[in-house]
């Protein structure tokens, strides 16, 4: 007996005597595999409830029984949260005189199973009329939701997808059609509304589908995803049939299935539900829907596939960004599978090329998923690959959760940033948004697709002190102490600030220079970067972002001079590819190359752009490659480039490189003094000095580490 077959027998509402006899002979190892499969199929809470009603519960190994109980209790707690979210959402829509029809798993949990713990939805799905779509979207935005432009949080296409900024809340999908427009079925929205009925959901009367349409929806939505969701689908269908046994009009269901050109899908799903889950589907209804004589063989094949052990689910989301990764996937190569899939953002044919190298086993897929997270491109892949059946559902689900987390966090952080921008604008301080935040808004068009550890905001050097003081009045505090008061503004190009009351928001890095090397702080033509900037608006605030040429120059320079061309972080290279695609018709290559030469940034362009062109297959205009290769870096740039791109630069080397880049001996002496003898406040913060008497030892430790670094060991 396979684990899947044993699980199916355990999940039946009333297992037969023969089935109970078979199940009673399972070993502890068999039970562990069965329960693991239940977790993989998101059936663990239902398995707990069904086993509690049979003598089989006493046969479970104690640790396995505890796992199931914990899963049931966790699902119940999550159910209370999403029930409250749904109730609040429906009340808000009703108060605005907007009607919404509740779809999907929420109805199954509350109206069919009658227990929110037994069917946890991944999203709350609502059907609204086309004429009400804008009003519903406005209501959601006013209630603290953010738009999900890619719809990547949902498994099927939606007219609008929204993510609540509140932790623990689940996405909301707002549909104007019951099924995606490209579905092979013909369902008229007007007909759905005409058939709608009401049900009590969490003490609130809501508009829902009638039993016949609910069954049809489950079949049409579930069959294309067989066998990955097959067990769940079979038992959902069986539960609907049981719950509405006295109400179901099977003749009406058959007629509707034919009208919607869904007869084959409905027949297959209901046949499997009858065979696998024991659903009481009338034989007459199946006979009217059966396509032809080969139908029975089709069900047999589907049943065999369904009851084979599927790929296990991935590890918990929080573990994806740790552990082993596949370094070959992170390699900068035109043959890279990850890069091939990323090219699918604008070249669908790239997926066909990458398909042949897809993993063949569950451990390989998990390694693949981890590598995508480590490379910073998991949210992108969640949207690029979500409709490809070759990718296991567990992989897409894990990436999708990662995507939703970033969308929620980034949207909340950008709303807060909009508040800061308005305050800075009112104070007469010009601002320019850099890197990930600007790219997420203007280039990716979806801030959830571009993970960002912080938000980089540029101001004019002469405004830096005022901007810093203003942000500190808006609940922000500088992260860490200065070597001495005022040293950051004098020698650095940025300062990090964290919200004092909302640590979950992204750190804001206030910049007054684009690169941290003293040479570039002094010589970069900042007027050109500001003069060529473009307007950027979001969340009711206005700022600037770098123009296409300046954007490419800064991204290449930052990648090489700050990160040494970190090849494993594909996200930074893909940023450049996205900019090349977004501005392919607007880029002034002559101006870009001239600015690179004028700003001593020739080598970053020469090292990065050919790699992106080749790996992402984005050939530049004729003559650009040759013109870039012909540029000559100055002697000073060549020297600095060699110093700044050394892998794992020791502390001493970083110190002496910055010291040599300063214009005069007085500045060098002041910089050296405050780094060798920093202020006590800095030492206490930097070395976690708990007692004043330990402070001299902290200085001694700093000097010893610096000397060790000078002698060639890592500082």
540: containing domain: 434-643
Res 293 pLDDT > 60: no
Q: What is the mean pLDDT of residues 485-513?
A: 83
Q: Is residue 369 part of a domain?
A: yes
Return the axis-axis angle of helices 28-40 and 3-11, rounded to nearest 10°: 80
| Mean pLDDT, all residues of the chain | 85
**Token pair of 56, please?**
């089989």
E-assigned strands of 369-514?
431-434, 454-459, 476-478, 494-499, 507-511
Tell me: do 559 and 660 sit in the same domain.
no
- For 183-237, the pLDDT digits (tens) are 788 888 888 999 999 988 877 889 999 999 999 999 998 887 775 678 889 999 9
Write b or e for each residue in 237-255: b if 16 or more Cβ atoms lie within 10 A of its Cβ, otherwise e: bbbbbebbeeebebeebbe
More confident residue, 492 or 459: 459
> Which DSSP helix (H) or strand (E) runs through 296?
helix 295-306
Over 50: is that where the pLDDT of 96 sits? yes
Q: Which of 320, 327, 377 is nearest to 570 (CA)?
A: 377
Which pLDDT score, from 0 to 100, does residue 221 have? 87
pLDDT tens digits along 271-289 = 889 988 889 999 999 888 8
617: number of Cβ within 10 Å: 15
Residues 517 and 619 in one domain: yes
Q: Is residue 638 part of a domain?
A: yes
591 SS3 class: helix
Q: Are residues 325 and 466 in the same domain?
A: no
Give the pLDDT of residue 307: 63
- The pLDDT score that the predictor gives to residue 159 is 66
Output the pTM of the full model: 0.72
What percentage of the chain has pLDDT greater than the value 70? 87
Q: What is the pLDDT of residue 60?
A: 86
Using CA atoms, how far apart are residues 308 and 306, in angstroms rounded to an integer?
A: 6
**What is the per-residue pLDDT for 567?**
67
Question: What does the alpha-carbon distance between residue 555 and residue 537 come to, in Å, rounded to a whole number?
Answer: 21
Do residue 279 and residue 255 come from a single domain? yes
pLDDT, average across residues 360-387: 86
User: Six-digit token pair at 327?
Assistant: 């370094």
Of 288-297, 408-417, 423-432, 602-611, where does mean pLDDT reach its minimum? 288-297
Question: 10 Å Cβ neighbour count for 457?
Answer: 24
pLDDT of residue 355: 76
Strand 476-478 vs strand 454-459: parallel, antiparallel, or unpaired? Answer: unpaired
Asked whether residue 316 carries a pLDDT value surpassing 60, the answer given is: no
pLDDT > 60? residue 700: yes
Judge contact between 89 and 125, C-beta under 8 A: no
In this structure, the strands spanning 454-459 and 507-511 are parallel
Where would I find the beta strands (DSSP E) of 528-578?
534-538, 541-545
Helix axes 393-426, 464-473, angle to 10 degrees: 110
More confident residue, 643 or 659: 643
Among 326-330, 494-498, 619-623, the least confident range: 326-330
Choose one of 617, 643, 669: the last residue of a domain.
Answer: 643
The answer to whether residue 592 scores a pLDDT higher than 60 is yes
Same domain, 450 and 593: yes
* Residue 109 confidence (pLDDT) above 70: yes
Residues 340 and 300 both lie in one domain: no
Same domain, 148 and 258: yes
**Do strands 507-511 and 541-545 pair parallel, antiparallel, or not at all (unpaired)?**
unpaired
What is the average pLDDT across 597-615? 95
Residues 661 and 609 in one domain: no
Could you report the per-residue pLDDT of 413-436, keeping only the tens digit for each? Answer: 999 999 999 999 999 999 999 999
Q: What angle do CA 693, 698, 702 make, to 5 degrees?
A: 160
For residues 45 and 485, the model is more confident at 45
Model confidence at 155: pLDDT above 60: no
Q: Checking phi first, is residue 445 left (phi over 0); if not, alpha (psi -120 to 50) or beta? A: left
Task: Say how many domains are in the chain.
Answer: 5
8 A C-beta contact, residue 216 and residue 102: no
Which of 186-200, 334-348, 674-688 is predicted least confidently?
674-688
Quote the percentage of the chain above a pLDDT of 90: 43
For 50-89, b/e burial (b = at least 16 CB within 10 A) is: bbeebebeebbeeebbebbeebbeebeebbeebbebbeeb
Per-residue burial over 378-399, b = 16 or more CB atoms within 10 Å of its CB, e = otherwise: bbbbbbbbbeeeebbbbbbbbb
- Residue finishing a domain among 271, 306, 341: 306
Whether the CA torsion 372, 377, 378, 380 is positive or negative: it is negative
- pLDDT at residue 684 above 90? no
Cis preceding-peptide flag for 227 (omega within 30 of 0): yes
Q: Which of 367-376, 462-471, 577-586, 597-606 has the lowest mean pLDDT?
A: 367-376
Determine the pLDDT at residue 299: 63
Give the torsion through C-alpha atoms of 383, 387, 389, 390, to 10 deg: -30
CB 662 within 8 A of CB 675: no
Residue 68 has pLDDT above 50, yes or no: yes
| pLDDT interval class at 627 (50, 70, 90) | very high
Do 630 and 590 lie in a common domain? yes
* DSSP structure class, residue 13: S
Residue 649 has pLDDT above 70, yes or no: no
Q: Which residues have CB under 8 Å from 681's CB, separation 6+?
A: 481, 482
Q: Is residue 427 part of a domain?
A: no
In a domain, 79, yes or no: no
Please tell me the predicted confidence (pLDDT) of residue 313: 46
Q: Which of 146-160, 245-259, 435-449 has the lowest mean pLDDT?
A: 146-160
Given pLDDT bands bounded at 50, 70 and 90, which one contains residue 714? very low
Q: What is the DSSP letter of 562?
A: I
The pLDDT tens digits of the residues spanning 511-531 come to 999 988 888 888 899 999 999
If asked whether residues 660 and 611 sit together in one domain, one would say: no
For residues 553 and 592, the answer to whether their CB atoms sit within 8 Å is yes
The strand pair at 507-511 and 160-164 is best described as unpaired
Residues 656 and 616 in one domain: no
| pLDDT of 444 higher than 60 | yes
Which of 141, 118, 121 is CA-nearest to residue 52? 118
* Single residue among 60, 89, 107 that ends a domain in this structure: 60
Whether the Cβ atoms of residue 463 and residue 430 lie closer than 8 Å to each other: yes
**Alpha-carbon span 303 to 234, nearest angstrom:** 11
Contact 410, 431 (CB under 8 A): no
Token pair 């065999």 in the structure block, residue: 304
Domain assignment present for 565:
yes
How many Cα atoms sit within 13 Å of 138 on the Cβ side? 7
- How does residue 601 score in pLDDT terms, banded at 50, 70 and 90? very high
């Amino acid at each position: 007996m396979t684990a899947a077959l044993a699980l199916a027998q355990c999940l039946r509402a009333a297992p037969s005597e023969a089935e109970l006899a078979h199940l009673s002979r399972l070993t502890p190892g068999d039970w562990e595999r069965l329960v693991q499969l239940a977790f993989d199929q998101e059936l663990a809470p239902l398995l707990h409830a069904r086993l509690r009603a049979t003598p089989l519960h006493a046969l479970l190994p104690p640790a396995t029984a505890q796992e199931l109980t914990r899963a049931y209790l966790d699902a119940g707690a999550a159910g209370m949260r999403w029930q409250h979210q749904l109730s609040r959402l429906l009340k808000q829509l009703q108060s605005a005189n907007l009607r919404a029809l509740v779809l999907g798993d929420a109805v199954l949990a509350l109206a069919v199973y009658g227990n929110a713990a037994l069917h946890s939805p991944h999203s709350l799905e609502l059907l609204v009329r086309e004429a009400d779509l804008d009003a519903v979207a406005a209501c959601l935005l006013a209630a603290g939701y953010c738009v999900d432009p890619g719809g990547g949080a949902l498994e099927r296409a939606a007219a609008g997808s929204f993510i609540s900024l509140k932790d623990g809340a689940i996405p909301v999908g707002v549909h104007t059609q019951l099924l995606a427009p490209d579905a092979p079925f013909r369902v008229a929205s007007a007909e759905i509304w005409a058939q709608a009925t009401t049900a009590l959901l969490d003490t609130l009367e809501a508009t829902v589908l009638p039993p016949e349409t609910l069954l049809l929806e489950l079949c049409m939505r579930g069959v294309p995803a067989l066998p990955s969701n097959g067990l769940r689908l079979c038992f959902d269908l069986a539960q609907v049939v049981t719950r509405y046994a006295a109400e179901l009009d099977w003749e009406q269901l058959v007629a509707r299935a034919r009208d919607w050109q869904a007869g084959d899908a409905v027949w297959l799903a209901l046949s499997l539900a009858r065979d696998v889950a024991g659903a009481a589907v009338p034989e007459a209804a199946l006979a009217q829907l059966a396509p032809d004589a080969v139908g029975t063989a089709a069900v047999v094949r589907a049943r065999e596939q369904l009851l084979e052990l599927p790929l296990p689910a991935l590890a918990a989301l929080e573990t994806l960004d740790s552990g082993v990764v596949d370094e070959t996937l992170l390699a900068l190569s035109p043959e890279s599978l990850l890069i091939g899939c990323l090219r699918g953002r604008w070249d669908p044919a790239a997926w066909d090329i990458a398909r042949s190298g897809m993993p063949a086993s569950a451990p390989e897929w998990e390694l693949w998923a981890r590598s995508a997270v480590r490379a910073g491109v998991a949210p992108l892949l969640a949207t690029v690959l979500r409709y490809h059946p070759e990718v296991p559902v567990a992989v897409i689900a894990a990436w999708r959760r990662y995507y939703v987390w970033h969308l929620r966090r980034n949207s909340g952080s950008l709303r807060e940033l909009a508040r800061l921008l308005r305050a800075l604008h009112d104070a007469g301080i010009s601002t320019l948004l850099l890197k990930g935040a600007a790219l997420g808004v203007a280039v990716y068009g979806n801030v959830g697709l571009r993970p960002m550890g912080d938000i980089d905001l540029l101001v004019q050097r002469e405004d830096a002190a005022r901007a810093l003081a203003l942000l500190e009045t808006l609940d922000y505090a500088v992260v860490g102490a200065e070597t001495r008061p005022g040293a950051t503004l004098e020698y650095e190009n940025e300062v990090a600030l964290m919200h004092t009351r909302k640590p979950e928001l992204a750190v804001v890095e206030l910049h007054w220079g684009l690169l941290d090397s003293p040479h570039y702080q002094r010589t970069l033509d900042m007027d050109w970067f500001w003069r060529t900037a473009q307007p950027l608006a979001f969340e009711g605030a206005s700022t600037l972002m770098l123009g296409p040429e300046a954007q490419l120059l800064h991204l290449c320079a930052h990648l090489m001079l700050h990160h040494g061309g970190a090849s494993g972080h594909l996200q930074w290279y893909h940023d450049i590819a996205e900019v090349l695609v977004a501005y392919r018709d607007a880029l002034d290559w002559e101006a870009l190359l001239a600015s690179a030469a004028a700003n001593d940034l020739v080598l970053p362009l020469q090292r990065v752009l050919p790699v992106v062109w080749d790996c992402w297959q984005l050939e530049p205009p004729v003559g650009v490659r040759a013109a870039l290769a012909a540029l000559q870096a100055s002697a000073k740039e060549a020297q600095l480039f060699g110093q700044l791109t050394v892998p794992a630069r020791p502390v001493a080397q970083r110190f002496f490189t910055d010291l040599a880049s300063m214009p005069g001996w007085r500045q060098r002496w002041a910089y050296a003094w405050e780094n060798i003898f920093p202020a006590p406040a800095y030492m206490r913060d930097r070395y976690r000095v708990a007692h004043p008497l330990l402070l001299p030892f902290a200085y001694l430790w700093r000097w010893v580490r610096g000397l060790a670094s000078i002698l060639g060991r890592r500082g």
